[in-house]
Structures are given as structure tokens and as C-alpha cells.
Amino acid sequence: MAHAKTSYVCLPCRASYKQSYGPDRRRICPRCAQSLIHVGSAFAAPRRRDTAAWRTLSVLLHAGVRFHKNCCDGGPGYRPRSLSEVRERMAYARRTGEPFAEALVRHEVP
């Protein structure tokens, strides 16, 4: 039986790769030979030339936010798509003391 594929990204190369999932196997970027980051099966990569989207993605990944499917609605839930949305949520997290990862996936910021 074939294993389901999931997405891995290389932030320096701005590249995304679909590979079968295996937690014990280290993934290497074929372009730069750095480690790939496992982002989840519900990930849709931005265009390589869209530097703002890749910067936003970098903030999300470094905060620990991933794109795994949810059993109930099939998607990963809300994720910010612009740097202004990220800044807004990070300011909210600093103001309230909420962890960055939780503030970043909030749909509405009060």
C-alpha cells in the first residue's frame, strides 16, 4: 500500500516538494542540500517570485505553525497570507501574552 504524500519546503530556495511521509527519514533539498521543513499535507506553496508570501510563510514555520488537515473540515484552518496580518497578530500576542503560534492562527483579532 502506498503512503500518502505530504509537503516539505526549502525556505532559502523557495521550493516545495511532495514526498511520502516518514518521521525517521531526513529530507534534503535537491538544490542547496539543506534540510527540508515538513509543512503538512494541506499546504499550497506560493509562487517562487512572491517574496512577501515566502517571508510570511517563514514567520509561520519558525513559530511552529504547520498546514495539517483537520479531521472535521478538511483544511488546516486560518493562516495569515500577508505580512500585515502577521504583524497585527504578533502585536496582539505581545499585548495579551498569548503564545505567537496561537495568535497567528486566530481568524479574528479582537
Q: Please indicate, yes or no, if residue 109 is contained in any of the structural domains.
A: no
**Confidence band for 24, pLDDT divided at 50, 70 and 90:** confident
- What are the pLDDT digits (tens) for 69-91? 766 665 677 888 899 999 999 99
Range of the domain at 81: 5-104
Q: What's the total number of domains in the chain?
A: 1
Q: Please indicate, yes or no, if residue 110 is contained in any of the structural domains.
A: no
Q: Please indicate, yes or no, if residue 47 is contained in any of the structural domains.
A: yes
Q: Please indicate, yes or no, if residue 90 is contained in any of the structural domains.
A: yes
Q: Report the distance separating Cα 74 and Cα 71, nearest Å.
A: 6
Q: In the predicted model, is pLDDT for residue 25 greater than 60?
A: yes
Q: Please indicate, yes or no, if residue 92 is contained in any of the structural domains.
A: yes
Q: Give the residue from 13, 78, 87 showing the smallest Cα distance to 51.
A: 13
Using alpha carbons, list the distances in angstroms from residue 84 to 73, 87, 104: 26, 5, 12
